Chains A and B, each alone.
Chain A
Amino acid sequence: MSEWNSYQIQDFVPFSADVYFRMLERMGETFWPLQLFTLAVGVVALLLALRGKPRIALLLLAPVWVFVGVAFFAQRYASLNWIGQVLSWVWIAQAALLVLLAATGRGTADRLEFLSASTITGVLISLIGLLMFPLLAPVLGATWTQAEVFGLHPDPTAVVSLGIFMIALRGWAQWLTCLVPLLWITLSALTLQVLEAPWWLALFAVVAAAVGNLIRQSRAMLSGPKS
């Protein structure tokens, strides 16, 4: 038997469902009511991106990525999975990239078309991140303090950020910034699939929509002057 053929997704998930979801709950319990503030930051960042202020939107997202990188990945996830330390640095590096783009303005969207596919896709993805994850808490019988929220937990943070990148960035900068959230969302969807959490499908849908939009935009840029 080929060694690689013998591996399954579950071989890369070293914890059980109760442990992972309890960790997410404890994250919320520990920092309550900080998530009300971070959720507001997410809403403001989305609105700023929609009002043609992409650089401030990116600047607002940067500290959120640092916080999740340290408080979630380094201080919690790493105790369950050795890759947590690596992911922590990746999230901090993503924050640095956002600060760089915000500072230079390179790759940011010059003008916004409200009814463009990119904007609509970005808004829908952001709303999934801002609303769906917190609303899972009452559906799953958890309390609001245990809900997954943008700015505290990696899934909603990555999803909302991805949506904002769809709106606020263009070209190579958009591809570059979308890479980490896309990879994390895919990794998380696979993890949730192993843990038999049905919303893994929503995460894959987000990835499909985002990648589809990135490809469509790239083709449009290559074929003409208008994105």
Chain B
Amino acid sequence: MEGKMLRRQFLKMLGAGVVSAWGFPGMAGAQSSALLSKPIPSSGESLPVIGMGTWRTFNVGNDPELLAARTQVLKTFFASGGGLVDSSPMYGSAADTLGFALKKLGIPKTLFSAEKVWSPAGGTTREQVASLAERWGLKTFDLVQVHNLDDWQEHLSVLRELKASGVIRYLGITTSHGRRHNEFEQVMASTEIDFAQMTYNITHREVESRLLPLAEEKGIAVIANRPYDGGSLIKGLKRREKVPAWAAEECGCRTWADFLLKFIVSHPALNCAIPATTRVEHMNENMAAGTAPLPDAKAREKMVAYIESL
């Protein structure tokens, strides 16, 4: 088991380009502009480390001006090599906005579509997935997750059938804001899932103690939501502080987006962070953070100490 774990971790790091960034500094520069990726443990498929969330940002209703603006944001995401786009039926018109943008842009090969099902399940799981796929303009989803563990037993049971029949490729569960971690842990430990989405950022690291080690042990890919703590973290830092010079030298952090996102995706258990934005320039910043080099364990400790000192 231990040997298998080490191999898997090594492969994961290799897939991420982390080997070149951590172990072979000379190679880091050669890959500096390429978006890093990590393999999904259950399949080995590679997934770029920076994804895109849509909470608040893609809920624009039917406003043509705003639909066009979000299309540009998504275009920038894909142009930078982005893959995972995460949404939820709770996000208002976000699924329709994604459908609009994907129709305009065409569906890129790199798209990794991630949706959610929510309560009440009541036999509606298939219906929810079908309805959301129609709104995105897709036939299938890559990943469907159970939103905030709502009715997770019923949903997961149906999602397993959908995965077996090829309607979806992966299934998972989500939580946020540190909610229901005990139950979340039990589901991760007792149920076969591909993905677990949870809140993880430099000021909210509760998941480091149990959930992230469990994800590594069980071979579950982890998506980090709220990487900027709902935006307040990066806004506050941008307003008050400059990125410390040592962060640029040691791990290529030129912006606060670099600092916050590189911290997240450099955790060995993390596959992908999903910042959300309404602006093209912020999307460019986010995507730049997914390139080498990434901080090593020592630099990560220094980053935490620095943020805690502010």
Contact = CB atoms under 8 A, between A and B. Distances in A.
B180 A79 contact: no
Give the interface size class of chain A. 20 to 34
A82 interface: yes
A82 B63 contact: no
Interface string B226-268: 0000100000000000000000000000000000000000000
Interface stretch (B2-10, B88-96, B100-108): B88-96
Contacts of A7: 177
Interface stretch (A9-17, A91-99, A180-188): A9-17
Interface stretch (A19-27, A52-60, A120-128): A19-27
A19 B179 contact: no
A80 interface: yes
B20 interface: no
B278 interface: yes
A80 B178 contact: no
B62 A79 contact: yes
B282 to A, nearest CB: 12
B59 interface: yes
A11 B225 CA distance: 13
A6 B91 contact: no
A22 B63 contact: yes
B60 interface: yes
Interface of B: 55-57, 59-63, 65-66, 90-93, 177-181, 206, 230, 278
Interface of A: 1, 3, 6-8, 10-11, 13-16, 18-19, 22-23, 26, 76, 79-82
Given A3-B180, A14-B90, A22-B65, 7 more contacts: A1-B181, A3-B179, A16-B59, A16-B278, A23-B61, A76-B61, A80-B59
